Amino acid sequence: MRRAEIKRKTNETDITLTLLTDGQGKSEISSGNGFFDHMLALLAKHAGFDLAVCCKGDTEVDFHHSAEDIGICLGRAVKEALGDMRGIARYSHVLLPMDEALILCALDISGRGRLYCELSLPSPRVGDFDSELCREFLDAFAANAGITLHIKQLEGTNTHHIIEGVFKALARCLKAAMRIEGDTVPSTKGIL
């Protein structure tokens, strides 16, 4: 069973996150931001994760610390749940439409966490969510999961649709790359 529980407490956030990678897409999310809760819930649904997130953050400042620290925790949880990564598919890609938005996502569970992201978000906010925090979350997630993550917006004029497309595309890629298809580490080095 690929599972992890991460706790992170700083002067800015107090987070508990549990992840079951081979779940049923269930989620219980309390991030402190309604739109971000929705994004994490749909990530869990489309990845097939069971995900619980409870974050108490300094939202009186803004949501930046919470979004980034949840990315750190989710990245660490994915890395911990995968263990030595024996048998995983490792690579995946998807071209995902979300109404007028079209998102390309490709990833490699390489052990080398890095984000390469090209988004053009027309609106600075979706509800009370700062659009730029999408990238902050993704960067923290990729770095801490040890995933080389490429995301490119090919089309899109609605910021909500673009961000939702990003989270759904990431979810589908994670599901495909994390699937078990063998019993060896998928690298000529023998480790990832």
Residue 183 forms part of a structural domain? no
Instruction: Tell me what pLDDT residue 190 has.
Output: 81
In tens, the pLDDT along 121-162 reads: 999 999 999 999 999 999 999 999 999 999 999 999 999 999
Residue 106 forms part of a structural domain? yes
Phi and psi, residue 57, nearest 5°: -125, 170
Instruction: Tell me what pLDDT residue 92 has.
Output: 98
Helices 34-47 & 64-82 angle (0-180, nearest 10): 20
Mapped onto helix, strand or coil, the DSSP state of residue 68 is helix
Instruction: Identify the segments of the chain with pLDDT beneath 50.
Output: none
Phi and psi, residue 46, nearest 5°: -80, -20
Note if the pTM is more than 0.75.
yes
Q: Is 8 left (phi over 0), alpha (psi -120 to 50) or beta?
A: beta
How far apart CA 189 and CA 42 sit, in angstroms, is 35
Residue 98 forms part of a structural domain? yes
Give the range of the structural domain holding residue 77, as residue numbers without chain letter.
3-178
Instruction: Tell me what pLDDT residue 1 has.
Output: 83
Residue 191 forms part of a structural domain? no
Residue 116 forms part of a structural domain? yes
Instruction: Tell me what pLDDT residue 47 has.
Output: 98
Phi and psi, residue 184, nearest 5°: -120, 165
Query: Which residues in the chain belong to E strands, given as ranges?
Result: 3-9, 13-20, 27-30, 50-57, 91-98, 101-108, 114-118, 125-126, 129-130, 148-155
Instruction: Provide the CATH number for the domain around residue 114.
Output: 3.30.230.40
Residue 150 forms part of a structural domain? yes
Residue 192 forms part of a structural domain? no
How do strand 3-9 and strand 13-20 relate by DSSP bridges? antiparallel
Are 46 and 77 in contact by the 8 Å Cβ rule? The answer is: no
Domain count, the chain: 1
Residue 81 forms part of a structural domain? yes
Q: Decide: residue 83, CB within 10 A, 0-12 exposed, 13-18 middle, 19+ buried.
A: exposed
